[in-house]
């Protein structure tokens, strides 16, 4: 029976780890807080005392943590998962910077592990039901070897090319999301302050050319100020946008103006409510002069 180590049991990781249990894998889990693992342990997962303990004997290690710093710590820190046996698959599902993805790949390959970057798109309910889209950067042979560990998580696997390419697309995706969400908030705030009928505004948005999945998902919640059950926080959106802008600045001759504006907008939201839903952006831009 295949053995998976799963590290990081946040909003997304918890459901993803559960998918491996559903699929009949032997699963070891580690998280900074053991409380988030209790129901997985009750379902048969083994609680690991450290990332290295989780990785011991694993065929594949899957990580889903917040950022570069957390990724570096769980892989390369004291008692890190990089201590796994030679030939183990190292599947990084976290959204990290492009530079970190390349550096981590080099470091883990140097230790004999097979590194794949596989950030995801989808909400926590998709993570728990195995309906994520995986954005993969890997050598073709490595992807085929990893596929049995990716299929339980996903309905779609998009292979963008070599290691790091999946991360590039994820950063593009989340930067566009940040720009759209900040734009939705600003547009709706203008409509509110101008006294428009917000029911009519929402109807017009939903049927207009500016509609997109992000617009449709956030506009009603913003108008209703309904931010319960945050699925993506202001702090995470700011982090992803900042990573994307750093990548853009390394590739584009002109400054990424829209990206920088989104980073600035989410820096403000992060300062006020870092762990609240990203849609609270409207409360930032709605403040009257």
- Check if the beta carbon of residue 153 is closer than 8 Å to that of residue 250: no
Helices and strands in the chain: count of H runs, count of E runs: 13, 9
270 noted as active-site residue: no
- Check if the beta carbon of residue 160 is closer than 8 Å to that of residue 138: no
Task: Find where tokens 């899957």 sit.
Answer: 62
Q: How many CB atoms lie within 10 A of CB 244?
A: 28
Closest CA relative to residue 84, chosen from 119, 47, 48, 120: 48
Task: Find where tokens 């697309």 sit.
Answer: 169
Half-sphere exposure in the Cβ direction for 56 (13 Å, CA): 11
Q: How many CB atoms lie within 10 A of CB 131?
A: 15
Options 36, 85, 131, 170, the catalytic residue: 170
Burial class (CB in 10 A: 0-12, 13-18, 19+), 20: buried
Q: Which helix (H) or strand (E) holds 22?
A: helix 13-22
Q: How far apart are alpha carbons 35 and 32 in whole angstroms?
A: 9
**Which residues touch 240 (CB under 8 Å, ≥6 apart)?**
95, 170, 171, 174, 175, 178
Q: Which residues are catalytic?
A: 170
């Amino acid at each position: 029976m295949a053995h998976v180590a799963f590290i990081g049991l946040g909003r997304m990781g918890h459901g993803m780890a559960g998918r491996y249990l559903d699929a009949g894998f032997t699963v070891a889990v580690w998280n900074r807080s053991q409380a988030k693992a209790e129901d997985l342990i009750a379902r048969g997962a083994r609680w690991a005392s450290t990332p290295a303990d989780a990785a011991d004997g694993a065929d594949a290690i899957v990580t889903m943590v917040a950022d570069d710093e957390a990724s570096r710590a769980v892989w390369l820190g004291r008692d890190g998962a990089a201590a796994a046996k030679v030939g183990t698959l190292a599947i990084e599902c976290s959204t990290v910077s492009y530079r970190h993805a390349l550096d981590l790949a080099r470091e883990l390959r140097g230790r004999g592990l097979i590194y794949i970057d596989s950030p995801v798109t989808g909400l926590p309910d998709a993570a728990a039901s195995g309906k994520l889209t995986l954005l993969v950067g890997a050598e073709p042979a490595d992807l085929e070897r990893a596929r049995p560990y990716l299929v339980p998580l996903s309905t779609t696997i998009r292979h963008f090319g070599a290691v790091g390419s999946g991360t590039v697309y994820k950063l593009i995706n989340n930067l566009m999301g940040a720009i759209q969400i900040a734009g939705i908030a600003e547009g709706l705030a203008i409509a509110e302050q101008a006294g428009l009928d917000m029911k009519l505004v929402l109807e017009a948005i939903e049927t207009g050319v500016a509609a997109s999945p992000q617009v449709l998902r956030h506009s009603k919640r913003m108008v209703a100020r309904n931010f319960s059950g945050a699925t993506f926080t202001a702090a995470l959106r700011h982090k992803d946008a900042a990573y994307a802008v750093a990548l853009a600045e390394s590739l584009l001759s002109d400054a990424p103006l829209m990206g920088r504006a989104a980073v600035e907008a989410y820096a403000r939201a992060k300062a006020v409510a870092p762990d609240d839903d990203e849609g609270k952006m409207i409360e930032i831009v709605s403040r009257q002069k």
